[in-house]
Structure 1
């Protein structure tokens, strides 16, 4: 019996020739990603047990991103704890406030993480990096402590779900809509502890931003991670970051690999999708119900990249955010912020009446800079719409693509972005 991509990576990192789903393995990790919220708890565990060491300071990446700049004294102390640990242990890769942004998006662009590697972090959306053909997953604080100390983590080898995607996206439909549709079909626990492997002609044509959106959302279906095999698109992406093929290992699933579930989907049949409260699997067609909104949010590790901001600017240009709607745009990283400014996108956002904020996770998890109040209704390009996720428990969150968020902000209610299919690209000669 052959092996899947994930099984091959785990076998290579655990000293086994082969592994099978359900097998317990001790797996070495190439990288540990740390931020200021979950890492301090792991560090306390190590300190309390006299195990205050780092397995390899060159293989840990620290990026404060959840509450930055600090929203209060407690947040400032957590940031100070991370920074002092970085300095004390000589952590070589530290993307401080003002030099980083949302950790997952910063990391995907560094050229540090590579195909065939393993990555763990105390953050559930670490699965984002699976788009590079690596095994990347979130772990609890205890496992994070073990990874920091020993560079190893215990895993139960997961089953793999194969998602075969064909067809061309129609204008106004995006990878975010595909992710929401798959989650709608299989339910919020339909991929519980599975790897979601994306294949097919549509994936082959998809750029890396779209692939990151798909793998980022794996956890919203209960998945252990998402993964996409390396191809020319991946190689070009790595080359642009100074990484050549001899620096990484490419894995593909064998023809006789065993998949727990196989799903086939034709994206030419998809429509813009919105996940209604309070679960990402509650998907419906955008605009079918004209839900009045008070907030519109574009950002997060799912959809805060430059391509997302360009699409939002394309729709917003020449329009104004509806009266009574507060729109927040959060570029995922400092680099994205700078590029958006250089392309004139920031001016479009401000002219439309949107607020542009510092790159962080703050609004996405209701921590700061965009927290929802009682009764607020937000359409969001993020990944999670649980009760209380973005603030008050009575607030409602509707997940959607950046295009749907922009169209809804203009209308004042959840709308179909295909109304703007003819709008020219922001900054183009047709403007």
Structure 2
């Protein structure tokens, strides 16, 4: 009498890596070689570094249909150096006849998902530290450097040490005015910027499942600030609805695993779980000069501000702009405070225009900036000396957004807008009430 072998309980990370390396099962700690489904890079991390190396090797790109190039860091060009960098990217894209190029359409971590490039089950790499954003779609996506990206472009492969999974399980329901950015800052404040070092962080539980795709993208994006390699969320009906609306880019290779339905961590899989209660979470604020300097907003209430910045891939998507408009509708920002708004993508800016959200922000006194990385990456209109800022960006490292004497606090779009309204750091729940 024969018996069927017992099926091993696996984490979502193990399943994704196993598919990518052509195995039925992988174990944390193993070194495996994975086939890459998508490689993304931008004007800063891509052509200006990759072009000369590829030319020196005399080697073609392994599969152009799996490459996405986004111009988002040095646009709009403001000086000779930025014009040089962007020119290299545009010229190289034309020489290579790359089919997926997004020029001045917004930030890569928002634009690429909005065009349907990232799908459940995929194994992706990005030339940017916030590439874990793709994990919001149940894809294994992480950031790599230019030398590693060169290897991917030549071979279509990359080696990986299979990570252990740390699951952040969120019970309960978020209160009004409390969002995914607050969840992310809470975890970073608790565990620090190396809290998930070379591990797969997975977000789960009722509060995560209730999040929209844009909110999930914020959560996965800031896995980078936890020090994690990836930030995964199991795909579900919310994911499917987003992908149906986004469609599939023309020329994208057929994705063979769309029918697979087990992209989740099995019951009994080996992982470390930390549990949080979303219903008791207050808005969070990170003090200069690290996202790990996070406490509840009341610990910073009354801190005077010069600038409020709503921008970046973690704070200026359509839903972020809506949140800010909800707070600011019918009001003006406080005298002496400059409100800077840089939508995350052209798609989101146009939607905000149609809905009247953008006009609400402009009526409140906001200055509108380009749909690009902008001040978050220290480019364009940056922070002046001795300014105190509250920002919806992911990082507040010293000098990152301009002057090294600028003091940058981090918060959600709700918190940034409420603080702009009063001129001091403010709990948005007070305004919304």
Deviation, 1:245, is 9.8
Q: Which residue of 2 aligns with 1:43?
A: 51
Distance in 2 (alpha carbons) for counterparts of 1:34 and 1:181: 29
Q: Which residue of 2 aligns with 1:416?
A: 427
1:197-236 alignment to 2 at 5 Å?
Answer: 197-236=202-241
**What secondary structure sits across from 2:167 in the alignment?**
strand
| Number of matched pairs | 417
Distance in 1 (alpha carbons) for counterparts of 2:167 and 2:368: 38
Q: Which residue of 1 aligns with 2:81?
A: 74
Q: Which residue of 2 aligns with 1:317?
A: 329
**Contact kept in structure 2, 1:114 and 1:248, CA below 8 Å:** no
- TM value normalised by structure 2: 0.93
Q: Which residue of 2 aligns with 1:55?
A: 62
Cα-to-partner distance string for 1:89-140 (whole Å, 9 max, x where unaligned): 111011122xx21111011111122110011111001101100000010001
Distance in 2 (alpha carbons) for counterparts of 1:246 and 1:32: 18
Deviation, 1:241, is 2.4
Deviation, 1:44, is 2.3
Q: CA RMSD in A?
A: 1.5
Q: Answer yes or no: is 1:255 the counterpart of 2:267.
A: yes
Q: Which residue of 2 aligns with 1:426?
A: none
1:154-303 alignment to 2 at 5 Å?
Answer: 154-242=159-247, 247=258, 249-250=260-261, 251-259=263-271, 261-289=272-300, 290-303=302-315
**Contact kept in structure 1, 2:178 and 2:281, CA below 8 Å:** yes
**Contact kept in structure 2, 1:294 and 1:325, CA below 8 Å:** yes
Distance in 1 (alpha carbons) for counterparts of 2:44 and 2:123: 22
2:394 to 368, 376, 383: 383
Distance in 2 (alpha carbons) for counterparts of 1:81 and 1:249: 40
- TM value normalised by structure 1: 0.94
Distance in 1 (alpha carbons) for counterparts of 2:379 and 2:10: 41
2:40 to 18, 33, 39: 33
Q: Which residue of 2 aligns with 1:107?
A: 112
Distance in 2 (alpha carbons) for counterparts of 1:249 and 1:343: 36
**What secondary structure sits across from 1:240 in the alignment?**
helix
**Contact kept in structure 2, 1:192 and 1:221, CA below 8 Å:** yes
Q: Which residue of 2 aligns with 1:428?
A: none
Q: Which residue of 2 aligns with 1:349?
A: 361
**Contact kept in structure 2, 1:116 and 1:248, CA below 8 Å:** no
Cα-to-partner distance string for 1:37-86 (whole Å, 9 max, x where unaligned): 011213322223333x2111111111100111112111111111111111
**What secondary structure sits across from 1:155 in the alignment?**
strand
Moved more, 237-246 or 182-191: 237-246
Moved more, 279-288 or 220-229: 279-288
1:83-162 alignment to 2 at 5 Å?
Answer: 83-97=90-104, 100-162=105-167
Distance in 1 (alpha carbons) for counterparts of 2:76 and 2:260: 37
| Counterparts in 2 of 1:331 and 1:248: CA distance versus 1, 3 Å | farther
Q: Structure 2, unaligned stretches of length 5 or more?
A: 1-7, 249-254
Q: Which runs of at least 4 in structure 1 moved beyond 3 Å after TM superposition? A: 242-250
